[in-house]
Amino acid sequence: KFSVWTIGDMYPGPNQKNVYEGFKKFIGNKYTNLFMTVGDNVYGGGTDDDFQTNFFQIYQNGPLLKQSALFPSVGNHDYDAYPKNQDHPDMAYYQNFTLPTKGELGGLASGSEAYYSFDYGNTHFICLDSYAWGKDNKRIFDGPSDQLTWLKNDLKSTKQLWKVVFFHYPPYTKGTYDSDLVPDLINLRAILPKVFDEFNVDLVLTGHSHVFERSKPLKNQYGLSSEFNKSVHWPQSSNGRYDKSANSCPYLFSTSNTEKNGVIYVVNGVGGATGAARASSPHPVMEYSLAGQAGSFYFEIDGKRLDAKFINEEGNVLDQFTVFKDLSLKAPSTQTINYFDKLELSATWTGEYIWSNGDKTKNIKVSTGLVFACPFLSRNK
Protein backbone atom coordinates (compact mmCIF):
# COMPACT_ATOMS: atom_id res chain seq x y z
CA LYS A 1 0.00 0.00 0.00
CA PHE A 2 1.25 3.47 -0.82
CA SER A 3 -0.12 7.03 -0.85
CA VAL A 4 0.13 10.03 -3.19
CA TRP A 5 -0.63 13.72 -2.52
CA THR A 6 -1.17 15.95 -5.56
CA ILE A 7 -1.68 19.69 -5.94
CA GLY A 8 -1.79 22.13 -8.83
CA ASP A 9 -1.83 25.87 -9.54
CA MET A 10 -0.28 26.89 -6.24
CA TYR A 11 -1.03 30.61 -6.43
CA PRO A 12 0.77 32.20 -3.43
CA GLY A 13 -1.28 33.47 -0.54
CA PRO A 14 -3.51 32.27 2.30
CA ASN A 15 -5.30 29.64 0.17
CA GLN A 16 -2.05 27.89 -0.70
CA LYS A 17 -0.97 27.67 2.93
CA ASN A 18 -4.43 26.60 4.05
CA VAL A 19 -4.52 23.77 1.48
CA TYR A 20 -1.28 22.40 2.87
CA GLU A 21 -2.44 22.80 6.47
CA GLY A 22 -5.72 21.08 5.58
CA PHE A 23 -3.84 18.13 4.15
CA LYS A 24 -1.61 17.88 7.22
CA LYS A 25 -4.72 17.87 9.39
CA PHE A 26 -6.26 15.14 7.24
CA ILE A 27 -3.17 12.92 7.07
CA GLY A 28 -2.06 13.25 10.70
CA ASN A 29 0.95 11.06 11.42
CA LYS A 30 0.45 8.78 8.40
CA TYR A 31 3.37 8.53 6.00
CA THR A 32 2.91 9.96 2.47
CA ASN A 33 5.00 8.16 -0.14
CA LEU A 34 4.75 10.47 -3.16
CA PHE A 35 4.21 14.22 -3.63
CA MET A 36 3.15 15.13 -7.20
CA THR A 37 2.17 18.41 -8.84
CA VAL A 38 0.09 19.12 -11.96
CA GLY A 39 1.85 22.32 -12.99
CA ASP A 40 1.94 26.04 -12.28
CA ASN A 41 4.11 25.33 -9.28
CA VAL A 42 4.76 29.09 -9.00
CA TYR A 43 3.24 32.28 -10.40
CA GLY A 44 5.73 35.13 -9.88
CA GLY A 45 7.54 34.70 -13.18
CA GLY A 46 8.86 31.22 -12.51
CA THR A 47 12.19 32.57 -11.24
CA ASP A 48 14.41 30.91 -8.68
CA ASP A 49 13.39 33.48 -6.04
CA ASP A 50 9.78 32.59 -6.81
CA PHE A 51 10.46 28.88 -6.27
CA GLN A 52 12.34 29.46 -3.03
CA THR A 53 9.70 31.78 -1.55
CA ASN A 54 6.48 30.32 -2.88
CA PHE A 55 7.24 26.63 -3.19
CA PHE A 56 10.09 25.34 -1.05
CA GLN A 57 9.55 27.65 1.92
CA ILE A 58 5.87 26.67 1.97
CA TYR A 59 6.11 22.89 1.67
CA GLN A 60 9.26 22.40 3.75
CA ASN A 61 7.12 23.11 6.83
CA GLY A 62 6.05 19.70 8.09
CA PRO A 63 7.20 16.22 7.09
CA LEU A 64 6.26 16.14 3.41
CA LEU A 65 9.41 17.34 1.61
CA LYS A 66 11.58 15.66 4.23
CA GLN A 67 9.99 12.25 3.67
CA SER A 68 8.20 12.03 0.33
CA ALA A 69 9.58 11.66 -3.17
CA LEU A 70 8.62 14.77 -5.17
CA PHE A 71 7.63 14.39 -8.83
CA PRO A 72 6.50 17.72 -10.36
CA SER A 73 5.01 18.50 -13.74
CA VAL A 74 5.46 21.80 -15.51
CA GLY A 75 2.73 24.36 -16.28
CA ASN A 76 2.55 27.50 -18.38
CA HIS A 77 3.36 29.85 -15.46
CA ASP A 78 6.55 27.92 -14.71
CA TYR A 79 7.72 29.16 -18.14
CA ASP A 80 6.66 32.80 -17.60
CA ALA A 81 10.11 34.43 -17.48
CA TYR A 82 11.73 32.08 -19.99
CA PRO A 83 11.48 30.91 -23.60
CA LYS A 84 8.70 28.38 -24.02
CA ASN A 85 11.11 25.56 -24.81
CA GLN A 86 11.37 22.31 -22.90
CA ASP A 87 14.58 21.76 -20.90
CA HIS A 88 15.75 25.36 -21.26
CA PRO A 89 18.98 25.43 -19.20
CA ASP A 90 18.29 28.84 -17.64
CA MET A 91 14.80 27.96 -16.43
CA ALA A 92 14.43 27.74 -12.63
CA TYR A 93 12.09 24.74 -12.85
CA TYR A 94 14.75 22.64 -14.56
CA GLN A 95 17.50 23.94 -12.30
CA ASN A 96 15.61 23.10 -9.11
CA PHE A 97 14.36 19.62 -10.01
CA THR A 98 16.31 16.57 -11.13
CA LEU A 99 13.95 14.21 -12.95
CA PRO A 100 14.44 10.73 -14.47
CA THR A 101 15.29 11.24 -18.14
CA LYS A 102 16.97 7.86 -18.71
CA GLY A 103 14.34 5.49 -17.36
CA GLU A 104 16.23 5.25 -14.05
CA LEU A 105 13.03 4.55 -12.11
CA GLY A 106 11.24 2.38 -14.65
CA GLY A 107 9.66 3.16 -18.00
CA LEU A 108 11.38 4.26 -21.19
CA ALA A 109 14.03 6.93 -21.32
CA SER A 110 12.51 10.22 -22.48
CA GLY A 111 15.69 12.26 -22.84
CA SER A 112 13.81 15.20 -21.32
CA GLU A 113 12.99 16.45 -17.83
CA ALA A 114 9.82 18.03 -19.24
CA TYR A 115 8.24 14.58 -19.60
CA TYR A 116 9.26 11.33 -17.98
CA SER A 117 7.91 8.18 -16.33
CA PHE A 118 8.59 6.07 -13.26
CA ASP A 119 7.32 3.00 -11.43
CA TYR A 120 6.24 2.95 -7.81
CA GLY A 121 4.78 -0.18 -6.26
CA ASN A 122 2.49 -1.79 -8.84
CA THR A 123 1.82 1.53 -10.64
CA HIS A 124 3.30 3.26 -13.68
CA PHE A 125 3.31 7.06 -13.53
CA ILE A 126 3.77 9.28 -16.58
CA CYS A 127 4.43 13.03 -16.46
CA LEU A 128 3.80 15.11 -19.61
CA ASP A 129 4.49 18.69 -20.67
CA SER A 130 1.24 19.95 -22.17
CA TYR A 131 2.44 23.51 -22.83
CA ALA A 132 5.94 24.09 -24.25
CA TRP A 133 7.70 23.23 -27.47
CA GLY A 134 10.02 20.21 -27.59
CA LYS A 135 13.32 19.80 -29.37
CA ASP A 136 11.33 18.94 -32.50
CA ASN A 137 9.55 22.34 -32.26
CA LYS A 138 6.27 20.55 -31.55
CA ARG A 139 3.90 20.67 -28.62
CA ILE A 140 2.15 17.48 -27.61
CA PHE A 141 -1.17 18.68 -29.07
CA ASP A 142 0.36 19.75 -32.43
CA GLY A 143 -0.02 16.28 -33.91
CA PRO A 144 2.82 13.76 -34.27
CA SER A 145 5.73 14.74 -32.00
CA ASP A 146 8.66 13.23 -30.15
CA GLN A 147 6.79 13.46 -26.86
CA LEU A 148 3.67 11.79 -28.24
CA THR A 149 5.69 8.96 -29.78
CA TRP A 150 7.52 8.44 -26.49
CA LEU A 151 4.18 8.41 -24.59
CA LYS A 152 2.74 5.67 -26.78
CA ASN A 153 5.88 3.54 -26.60
CA ASP A 154 6.15 3.99 -22.85
CA LEU A 155 2.53 2.96 -22.26
CA LYS A 156 2.95 0.02 -24.60
CA SER A 157 6.00 -1.24 -22.73
CA THR A 158 4.79 -1.06 -19.12
CA LYS A 159 3.56 -4.20 -17.36
CA GLN A 160 2.33 -2.43 -14.22
CA LEU A 161 -1.23 -3.02 -13.00
CA TRP A 162 -2.16 0.66 -12.67
CA LYS A 163 -1.39 3.54 -15.05
CA VAL A 164 -1.55 7.18 -13.88
CA VAL A 165 -0.77 10.17 -16.12
CA PHE A 166 -0.33 13.74 -14.85
CA PHE A 167 0.17 17.07 -16.64
CA HIS A 168 -1.18 20.62 -16.68
CA TYR A 169 -3.78 21.30 -19.41
CA PRO A 170 -7.17 19.57 -18.88
CA PRO A 171 -8.95 17.85 -21.79
CA TYR A 172 -12.34 18.43 -20.10
CA THR A 173 -13.28 21.44 -17.96
CA LYS A 174 -15.96 24.06 -17.42
CA GLY A 175 -14.09 26.08 -14.81
CA THR A 176 -11.96 29.18 -15.28
CA TYR A 177 -11.23 27.72 -18.71
CA ASP A 178 -13.71 26.11 -21.09
CA SER A 179 -12.39 23.09 -22.97
CA ASP A 180 -15.01 23.71 -25.66
CA LEU A 181 -13.57 27.17 -26.44
CA VAL A 182 -9.79 27.14 -25.88
CA PRO A 183 -8.04 25.94 -29.07
CA ASP A 184 -5.11 24.33 -27.23
CA LEU A 185 -7.49 22.27 -25.09
CA ILE A 186 -9.59 21.28 -28.10
CA ASN A 187 -6.47 20.09 -29.94
CA LEU A 188 -5.16 18.30 -26.85
CA ARG A 189 -8.48 16.47 -26.36
CA ALA A 190 -8.42 15.30 -29.97
CA ILE A 191 -5.07 13.56 -29.37
CA LEU A 192 -4.38 12.49 -25.80
CA PRO A 193 -7.63 10.76 -24.69
CA LYS A 194 -7.39 8.47 -27.71
CA VAL A 195 -3.98 7.33 -26.48
CA PHE A 196 -5.26 6.91 -22.92
CA ASP A 197 -8.17 4.82 -24.16
CA GLU A 198 -5.98 2.67 -26.39
CA PHE A 199 -3.52 1.79 -23.62
CA ASN A 200 -6.05 1.53 -20.77
CA VAL A 201 -4.87 4.38 -18.58
CA ASP A 202 -6.75 4.39 -15.26
CA LEU A 203 -6.37 7.94 -13.94
CA VAL A 204 -5.45 11.30 -15.52
CA LEU A 205 -4.59 14.25 -13.24
CA THR A 206 -4.51 17.84 -14.55
CA GLY A 207 -4.79 21.46 -13.38
CA HIS A 208 -4.84 24.87 -15.12
CA SER A 209 -8.58 25.42 -14.61
CA HIS A 210 -8.97 26.77 -11.07
CA VAL A 211 -11.74 24.40 -9.98
CA PHE A 212 -12.00 20.79 -8.90
CA GLU A 213 -13.71 18.39 -11.31
CA ARG A 214 -13.84 14.59 -11.34
CA SER A 215 -15.30 12.45 -14.09
CA LYS A 216 -16.89 9.05 -14.13
CA PRO A 217 -14.80 6.51 -16.09
CA LEU A 218 -14.87 7.88 -19.62
CA LYS A 219 -14.27 6.41 -23.08
CA ASN A 220 -14.22 7.66 -26.68
CA GLN A 221 -15.18 11.26 -25.88
CA TYR A 222 -12.96 13.41 -28.12
CA GLY A 223 -15.29 16.19 -29.19
CA LEU A 224 -17.24 19.05 -27.64
CA SER A 225 -19.31 18.65 -24.49
CA SER A 226 -22.45 18.89 -26.63
CA GLU A 227 -21.43 15.61 -28.28
CA PHE A 228 -21.30 13.73 -24.98
CA ASN A 229 -23.66 10.77 -24.68
CA LYS A 230 -23.65 9.07 -21.29
CA SER A 231 -24.98 5.81 -22.68
CA VAL A 232 -21.98 5.69 -25.04
CA HIS A 233 -19.17 7.45 -23.17
CA TRP A 234 -19.82 6.30 -19.59
CA PRO A 235 -19.15 2.53 -19.38
CA GLN A 236 -20.16 2.57 -15.70
CA SER A 237 -23.05 4.33 -14.04
CA SER A 238 -21.92 4.29 -10.39
CA ASN A 239 -20.88 7.51 -8.66
CA GLY A 240 -17.85 5.59 -7.40
CA ARG A 241 -18.11 6.96 -3.86
CA TYR A 242 -18.27 3.66 -1.96
CA ASP A 243 -18.90 5.44 1.35
CA LYS A 244 -22.19 3.84 2.51
CA SER A 245 -24.16 6.78 1.06
CA ALA A 246 -27.16 6.30 -1.24
CA ASN A 247 -26.17 4.35 -4.36
CA SER A 248 -22.71 3.82 -2.87
CA CYS A 249 -20.72 1.58 -5.18
CA PRO A 250 -17.09 1.42 -6.39
CA TYR A 251 -15.92 1.41 -9.98
CA LEU A 252 -14.99 -2.08 -11.19
CA PHE A 253 -12.13 -2.35 -13.72
CA SER A 254 -10.95 -5.50 -15.46
CA THR A 255 -7.61 -6.21 -17.13
CA SER A 256 -9.19 -8.87 -19.36
CA ASN A 257 -12.36 -7.00 -20.39
CA THR A 258 -11.31 -3.37 -20.73
CA GLU A 259 -14.38 -2.20 -22.64
CA LYS A 260 -16.15 -1.44 -19.37
CA ASN A 261 -13.23 0.36 -17.71
CA GLY A 262 -12.74 3.93 -18.91
CA VAL A 263 -10.39 6.69 -17.77
CA ILE A 264 -11.09 8.82 -14.70
CA TYR A 265 -10.16 12.48 -15.29
CA VAL A 266 -9.43 14.84 -12.39
CA VAL A 267 -8.98 18.62 -12.70
CA ASN A 268 -7.20 19.82 -9.57
CA GLY A 269 -6.15 23.43 -10.23
CA VAL A 270 -6.95 24.71 -6.74
CA GLY A 271 -3.73 24.34 -4.76
CA GLY A 272 -3.87 28.09 -4.12
CA ALA A 273 -5.77 29.59 -7.03
CA THR A 274 -9.56 29.49 -7.11
CA GLY A 275 -12.16 30.77 -9.53
CA ALA A 276 -15.75 30.64 -10.67
CA ALA A 277 -17.25 27.96 -12.86
CA ARG A 278 -18.59 28.65 -16.33
CA ALA A 279 -22.25 29.34 -16.82
CA SER A 280 -22.38 26.04 -18.73
CA SER A 281 -20.89 24.14 -15.78
CA PRO A 282 -20.74 21.32 -14.90
CA HIS A 283 -19.07 19.62 -17.80
CA PRO A 284 -21.33 16.65 -18.59
CA VAL A 285 -18.52 14.06 -18.25
CA MET A 286 -18.04 15.07 -14.59
CA GLU A 287 -19.50 13.19 -11.65
CA TYR A 288 -18.43 15.92 -9.20
CA SER A 289 -17.61 19.62 -9.75
CA LEU A 290 -16.68 22.33 -7.25
CA ALA A 291 -15.72 25.99 -7.77
CA GLY A 292 -14.63 28.69 -5.36
CA GLN A 293 -12.78 26.40 -2.93
CA ALA A 294 -9.12 25.46 -2.73
CA GLY A 295 -7.98 21.94 -1.96
CA SER A 296 -5.83 18.96 -2.85
CA PHE A 297 -6.22 15.45 -4.25
CA TYR A 298 -4.99 12.37 -2.40
CA PHE A 299 -5.08 8.70 -3.31
CA GLU A 300 -3.90 5.36 -2.02
CA ILE A 301 -3.22 2.19 -3.97
CA ASP A 302 -3.33 -1.11 -2.12
CA GLY A 303 -2.84 -4.04 -4.48
CA LYS A 304 -5.86 -4.04 -6.80
CA ARG A 305 -7.70 -1.27 -4.95
CA LEU A 306 -7.46 2.52 -5.44
CA ASP A 307 -9.10 5.01 -3.03
CA ALA A 308 -9.09 8.74 -3.88
CA LYS A 309 -10.26 11.84 -2.01
CA PHE A 310 -10.52 15.59 -2.56
CA ILE A 311 -9.56 17.42 0.63
CA ASN A 312 -10.50 21.05 1.36
CA GLU A 313 -8.63 23.68 3.38
CA GLU A 314 -10.15 22.43 6.63
CA GLY A 315 -8.99 18.88 6.04
CA ASN A 316 -12.48 17.60 5.17
CA VAL A 317 -13.20 15.10 2.37
CA LEU A 318 -15.64 16.63 -0.13
CA ASP A 319 -15.45 13.99 -2.85
CA GLN A 320 -14.12 10.46 -3.03
CA PHE A 321 -14.14 7.39 -5.21
CA THR A 322 -12.87 3.80 -5.15
CA VAL A 323 -11.74 1.53 -7.97
CA PHE A 324 -11.33 -2.25 -7.72
CA LYS A 325 -9.41 -4.15 -10.40
CA ASP A 326 -10.17 -7.75 -11.32
CA LEU A 327 -12.56 -8.16 -8.42
CA SER A 328 -13.85 -11.73 -8.38
CA LEU A 329 -17.30 -11.38 -6.86
CA LYS A 330 -18.83 -14.60 -5.63
CA ALA A 331 -22.45 -15.29 -6.34
CA PRO A 332 -24.69 -16.12 -3.34
CA SER A 333 -24.55 -19.83 -2.67
CA THR A 334 -25.81 -22.51 -0.29
CA GLN A 335 -23.44 -25.00 1.29
CA THR A 336 -24.24 -27.94 3.55
CA ILE A 337 -21.88 -28.88 6.37
CA ASN A 338 -21.99 -31.23 9.33
CA TYR A 339 -23.37 -29.73 12.51
CA PHE A 340 -20.02 -29.61 14.33
CA ASP A 341 -17.95 -28.54 11.34
CA LYS A 342 -16.98 -24.99 10.41
CA LEU A 343 -16.96 -23.30 7.01
CA GLU A 344 -14.24 -20.79 6.14
CA LEU A 345 -15.39 -17.61 4.38
CA SER A 346 -12.97 -15.18 2.75
CA ALA A 347 -13.56 -11.63 1.51
CA THR A 348 -12.62 -11.15 -2.13
CA TRP A 349 -11.23 -7.64 -1.87
CA THR A 350 -8.79 -5.50 0.10
CA GLY A 351 -10.14 -3.22 2.80
CA GLU A 352 -11.52 -3.03 6.30
CA TYR A 353 -14.08 -5.74 7.06
CA ILE A 354 -17.16 -6.00 9.23
CA TRP A 355 -18.93 -9.35 9.17
CA SER A 356 -22.41 -9.76 10.51
CA ASN A 357 -21.06 -11.40 13.67
CA GLY A 358 -18.75 -8.42 14.32
CA ASP A 359 -15.48 -10.01 13.16
CA LYS A 360 -13.11 -7.67 11.31
CA THR A 361 -10.64 -10.07 9.72
CA LYS A 362 -10.47 -10.98 6.03
CA ASN A 363 -11.10 -14.69 6.72
CA ILE A 364 -13.49 -16.15 9.28
CA LYS A 365 -14.76 -19.62 10.18
CA VAL A 366 -18.48 -20.02 10.79
CA SER A 367 -20.53 -22.81 12.27
CA THR A 368 -24.15 -23.80 11.77
CA GLY A 369 -25.09 -21.99 14.96
CA LEU A 370 -24.40 -18.59 13.43
CA VAL A 371 -26.64 -16.62 11.08
CA PHE A 372 -25.10 -14.17 8.60
CA ALA A 373 -26.56 -11.26 6.75
CA CYS A 374 -26.78 -11.43 2.99
CA PRO A 375 -24.53 -10.79 1.12
CA PHE A 376 -22.15 -12.86 3.22
CA LEU A 377 -18.98 -11.19 1.91
CA SER A 378 -17.44 -8.28 3.74
CA ARG A 379 -18.44 -4.75 3.03
CA ASN A 380 -16.23 -1.68 3.15
CA LYS A 381 -16.26 0.01 6.54
Q: What is the DSSP string of 312-334?
A: ETTS-EEEEEEEEES--PPPP--
pLDDT mean over 157-179: 98
Mean pLDDT score of the chain: 92
Is omega for the bond preceding 14 within 30 degrees of 0, making it cis?
no
Least confident span in 196-205, 323-332, 353-362: 353-362
Closest CA to 269 of 44, 22, 40, 34: 40
Would you place residue 369 in the very low, low, confident or very high pLDDT band (cuts 50, 70, 90)?
Answer: low
CB atoms within 10 A of CB 356: 15
Residue 218 predicted with pLDDT over 70: yes
| Dihedral (CA of 330, 240, 72, 151) sign | positive
Question: Would you state the pLDDT for residue 381?
Answer: 34
Least confident span in 26-30, 190-194, 356-360: 356-360
Residue 370 predicted with pLDDT over 70: no
For residues 14 and 354, the model is more confident at 14
Burial code of 224-235, b = ≥16 C-beta within 10 A, e = fewer?
A: ebeebeeeebbb
Question: Would you state the pLDDT for residue 32?
Answer: 97
pLDDT mean over 225-229: 97
Would you place residue 310 in the very low, low, confident or very high pLDDT band (cuts 50, 70, 90)?
Answer: very high
Question: Would you state the pLDDT for residue 347?
Answer: 74
Question: Would you state the pLDDT for residue 365?
Answer: 77
Residue 121 predicted with pLDDT over 90: yes
Question: Would you state the pLDDT for residue 368?
Answer: 61
Q: Percent of the chain scored above 70 by pLDDT?
A: 94
Question: Would you state the pLDDT for residue 339?
Answer: 66
Question: Would you state the pLDDT for residue 379?
Answer: 41
**What are the φ and ψ backbone dihedral angles of 342, each rounded to 5 degrees?**
-125, 145
Question: Would you state the pLDDT for residue 374?
Answer: 39
Please tell me the chain's helix, strand, coil percentages from 3-state DSSP, rounded to the nearest 5: 20, 25, 55
Would you place residue 376 in the very low, low, confident or very high pLDDT band (cuts 50, 70, 90)?
Answer: very low
Question: Would you state the pLDDT for residue 338?
Answer: 75
- pLDDT, tens only, 262-294: 999 999 999 999 999 999 999 999 999 999 999
pLDDT mean over 372-380: 40
Residue 105 predicted with pLDDT over 50: yes
Question: Would you state the pLDDT for residue 246?
Answer: 76
Residue 20 predicted with pLDDT over 80: yes
Calculated CA dihedral for residues 103, 107, 111, 113, nearest 10 degrees: -90
46-55, 326-335, 339-348: which has the highest mean pLDDT?
A: 46-55
pLDDT mean over 97-124: 97
Question: Would you state the pLDDT for residue 378?
Answer: 39
Strand partners, 264: 203
* DSSP codes joined into one string, 221-252: --S-GGG--HHHH-S-------SSSTT---EE
pLDDT mean over 304-326: 97
Least confident span in 152-156, 322-326, 356-360, 372-376: 372-376
Contact (CB, 8 A) for 158 and 107: yes
Would you place residue 104 in the very low, low, confident or very high pLDDT band (cuts 50, 70, 90)?
Answer: very high
